[in-house]
């Protein structure tokens, strides 16, 4: 069973979308949901949803409540944060309220650090 690689693939995709949304100043994280991730990675949506919720419980993802539920990479968000960021944001609260775009981006993926 490919549980660990699937989890890493999902988290790496979320990290990439999170970093791109912040560095481009679009804050568009609409692709960070179970349905879109399932289509991109060709995995069943229920399995993607299960992994996303597991990563959220482990505080590796930040959950944006709403429909659809969106997930952001906690490590990327914390590298830009100006104050503590809750791991679940209610509807109507934007992640940009917590970010400082002047901080350099450092993304940790598969034991590699990428600077931007």
Q: Structural domains in the chain?
A: 3-115 (1.10.10.10)
Mean pLDDT value of segment 53-72: 95
pTM of the entire structure?
0.78
Of all helices (H) and strands (E), which one includes residue 55? helix 45-57
What's the whole-number average pLDDT of the chain? 84
Of all helices (H) and strands (E), which one includes residue 115? strand 112-115
Taken in order 15, 19, 22, 28, the sign of the CA dihedral is negative
Residues 6+ apart with CB under 8 A from 54: 7
What tokens does 2 get? 């490919």
Task: Using the predicted structure, report yes or no on whether residue 96 has a pLDDT greater than 70.
Answer: yes
Task: Using the predicted structure, report yes or no on whether residue 46 has a pLDDT greater than 80.
Answer: yes
């Amino acid at each position: 069973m490919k549980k660990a690689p699937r989890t890493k693939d999902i988290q790496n995709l979320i990290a990439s979308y999170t970093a791109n949304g912040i560095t481009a100043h679009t804050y568009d994280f609409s692709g960070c949901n179970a349905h879109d991730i399932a289509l991109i990675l060709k995995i069943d949506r229920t399995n993607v949803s299960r992994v996303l919720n597991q990563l959220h419980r482990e505080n590796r993802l930040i959950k944006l409540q709403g429909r659809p539920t969106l997930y952001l990479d906690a490590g990327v968000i914390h590298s830009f944060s100006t104050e503590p960021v809750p791991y679940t944001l209610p509807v109507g609260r934007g992640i940009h309220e917590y970010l400082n775009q002047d901080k350099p981006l450092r993304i940790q993926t598969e034991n590699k650090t990428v600077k931007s």
